[in-house]
Amino acid sequence: MQNYARIGIFGILALVALRVGCGWHFYMEGASKVKSHTFSSEGFLNGAKGPLAGKFQELIWDKDGSFRLNQETVNAYFIDAAEKSAVHFGLTDEQKKQLDRVRRRYANVDKNKRFSGKLNDVYDEASEDVFKYWESVGRLENMEDAALWTQVSSLRGQKEKIEADRMASVKPTMAAVDAIWNQYEGQLNAVATPEQLQQAGYFRFNRPGEGVLTTRTVDKIIPIFDMVVGILLMLGLLTPLAAWAGALFLISVVLSQMPGFPGTDPTYFQAVEALAMIVLATTDAGRYAGLDFIPWAWWQSKKKKSPATTTAPAAT
């Protein structure tokens, strides 16, 4: 079937400008995240609203803080991690003594069940906030059991506000526990010799129940993803693939704030850019002032060189 569609010079210029503009935006978003060293997707995922909110929030490990704010449980994990690292590296008796000093410096429980160490300094400083947190847990559980709280939008909003206020007071404590956790992991590995590290590999002090795809993984992927999509679009290389990837990402942002759901933030900008990316993906935008022109031109020349099929004249 003959395709009679044509695009004029101004249409070509518009597509090139749209491609480069979207690419520049994606690249700068990724570059700014890399430079800041503070990018976290947790706020975005935690703020998701609508029917799909639960799916987004599943990526947040210990979303409600019930693990990190349980002092006894976290101390037990810290102590257990030291024992596992000793087995992992096959430490000598002297190294085990050094490891025990490291463990006591971070998390220690004496025979009277008194806590000490850097980890427990965090809990001591936030003892009042942690106490109020656990005090409110039962109240919120009762709200969740009452169907009225989920059916009436105004009451649902009140419940969300109570949850937000409760979490706001303990977020610094949770962040401090995360920081101590990462420091402790580094110190456990520092006890091993270079030879032990090379042979056994780095010891990972994993969070219990943390899956493969969590905020820690997302925080590493998103900045690189943004930059790669941006570079490909600006170069006009693999444009359909890059544009569809960007469009799907933007659509996921829109779905995280489901339009029409109470309390959602507007996502008009992301929706409009997603439509622009779909246009780029479906119009061969990369072959205009882009590197996609090279394979396209090669394919066109190959088609022209192929022998034309002719019909033999009928016998007389």
Eight-state DSSP code of residue 192:
S
Contact indicator for 96, 64 with CB cutoff of 8 Å: no
Higher-pLDDT residue of 66 and 2 is: 66
Indicate the pTM of the whole model: 0.74
Report d(CA 78, CA 71) in Å as an integer. Answer: 11
Does the pLDDT value for residue 5 go beyond 70?
A: no
What is the residue-wise DSSP string for 129-152? HHHHHHHHHHHHHHHHH-HHHHHS
Segment 165-174 shows an average pLDDT of: 86
**Residue 255 in tokens:** 């779905």
- What average pLDDT is seen over the chain? 87
Please tell me whether residue 308 adopts helix, strand or coil conformation. Answer: coil
CB atoms closer than 10 angstroms to residue 157 = 13
The one-letter amino acid at 189: N
- E strands, the chain, in order: 108-109, 115-116
pLDDT at 93: 94
